[in-house]
Amino acid sequence: MADRDGDPGDEQRRHQRQPVTLLVEYEGADDLVSDFTENLSTGGTFVSTGHEFEIGTEVQLVLSFPGLLTPLQLSAVVRWTRSGDDEQRGVGLEFNELHGETRARLEEAVQLIGVRDPSVVSRLCKVLVVEDNPHVAKLIRDGLRGSGKRAFGDDLAFNFKTAGNGSDALELLRAEPFDALIIDIYMPVLDGVSVIEQVRADPELSRMPIIAVSAGGEQTRGAALAAGADFFLDKPMRLRQIIETMQKLLTLGGGRQ
């Protein structure tokens, strides 16, 4: 597992009795359930982190993934550390009180997560963003994540993957399920119009909702819509446009449980 939280801070390091927090964010529900079954349920785990901890440091381990309404929390103590490069560095944790009623509650929560119970897991919309400009891709991801709760409510969460060219996008679309596609028209290797045409020609993908984006003006808009895009947004885009278009888009396909 990998630490996704910020530096615990000098103040916390000076007062080790105050637990520091490590956030572990999984890609999806199945990853958390699998890790619990194989590792966490044994009473401890290894967390990859670049932060330095002293042996005996109390840690609050927070487990989450896109769509989990209430992250799982485990109290733990650092029992050993490992140095090395970024992938090897980390800490070995031993959980506190992972037995009795505490363990039963945790196992029940993991079981509900496994079956995607709506009381603990919101509906998930998995979006592929095809954009060779990483700043634009980040704008789309952060915009939908940050404003998603206000715009879509607590019952919908977003999960994203990105591709930097059209060829990679098609490989991802054929390898795993997505609920929506947001694609720039001017892409390297394979342009967006060609990707849209191939998606519409594939029986497994033909009904996928698609937002095309570009700075190419009316001619590009016409080409994208003719290829099969459901919506077209001119660059530079505004966050409100992305959210409003996604709201319309979800009526076409909806999100997976």
Boundary of a domain, candidates 114, 146, 168: 114
Residues whose CB is less than 8 angstroms from the CB of residue 144 and which lie 6 or more positions away in sequence, other chains included: 127, 158, 160, 242, 243, 246
180-184 and 156-163 strand pairing: unpaired
pLDDT in tens, 127-142: 999 999 998 898 888 8
Mean pLDDT of all residues belonging to the chain? 84
Same domain membership, residue 229 and residue 139: yes
Same domain membership, residue 57 and residue 23: yes
Q: pTM of the entire structure?
A: 0.66
Same domain membership, residue 217 and residue 155: yes
pLDDT at 252: 57
Query: Is residue 1 in some structural domain?
Result: no
pLDDT at 3: 54
Query: Is residue 183 in some structural domain?
Result: yes
Same domain membership, residue 180 and residue 213: yes
pLDDT at 100: 73
pLDDT at 151: 59
Same domain membership, residue 54 and residue 136: no
pLDDT in tens, 99-152: 777 788 889 999 999 998 888 888 888 899 999 999 889 888 888 876 655 656
pLDDT at 12: 45
Percent with pLDDT over 70 in the chain? 85
On the question of pLDDT at 232 being above 80, the answer is: yes
CB atoms within 10 A of CB 42: 11
On the question of pLDDT at 171 being above 80, the answer is: yes
The torsion angles phi and psi of 118, rounded to 5 degrees, stand at -65, -15
Read off the pLDDT of each residue in 19-28 and give the average, rounded to a whole number.
86
- Quick one: pLDDT band at residue 14, thresholds 50, 70, 90? very low
On the question of pLDDT at 89 being above 60, the answer is: yes
On the question of pLDDT at 30 being above 50, the answer is: yes
pLDDT at 197: 97
Q: What whole-number distance in Å separates Cα of residue 32 and Cα of residue 26?
A: 6
Q: What is the CATH number of the domain that holds 170?
A: 3.40.50.2300
Question: Which of 8-12, 209-213, 234-238 has the lowest average pLDDT?
Answer: 8-12
Query: Is residue 14 in some structural domain?
Result: yes
Percent with pLDDT over 90 in the chain? 45
On the question of pLDDT at 169 being above 90, the answer is: yes
Boundary of a domain, candidates 79, 114, 149: 114
On the question of pLDDT at 215 being above 60, the answer is: yes
Helices (H), the chain: 10-14, 29-38, 100-114, 134-152, 166-175, 192-201, 217-227, 239-253
Q: What is the CATH number of the domain that holds 22?
A: 2.40.10.220
Same domain membership, residue 234 and residue 131: yes
Q: What whole-number distance in Å separates Cα of residue 143 and Cα of residue 9?
A: 28
Same domain membership, residue 56 and residue 129: no
On the question of pLDDT at 2 being above 60, the answer is: no
Query: Is residue 32 in some structural domain?
Result: yes
Query: Is residue 3 in some structural domain?
Result: no
Asked if residue 158 lies in contact with residue 180, where contact means CB atoms within 8 angstroms, the answer is no
Query: Is residue 4 in some structural domain?
Result: no
Same domain membership, residue 35 and residue 74: yes
Same domain membership, residue 138 and residue 220: yes
Q: Which domain holds residue 39?
A: 10-114
On the question of pLDDT at 257 being above 50, the answer is: no
Boundary of a domain, candidates 69, 85, 114: 114
Same domain membership, residue 170 and residue 77: no
pLDDT in tens, 78-87: 999 988 776 6
Same domain membership, residue 103 and residue 138: no
On the question of pLDDT at 225 being above 90, the answer is: yes
Q: How many domains in the chain?
A: 2
CA 216 to chain centre: 30
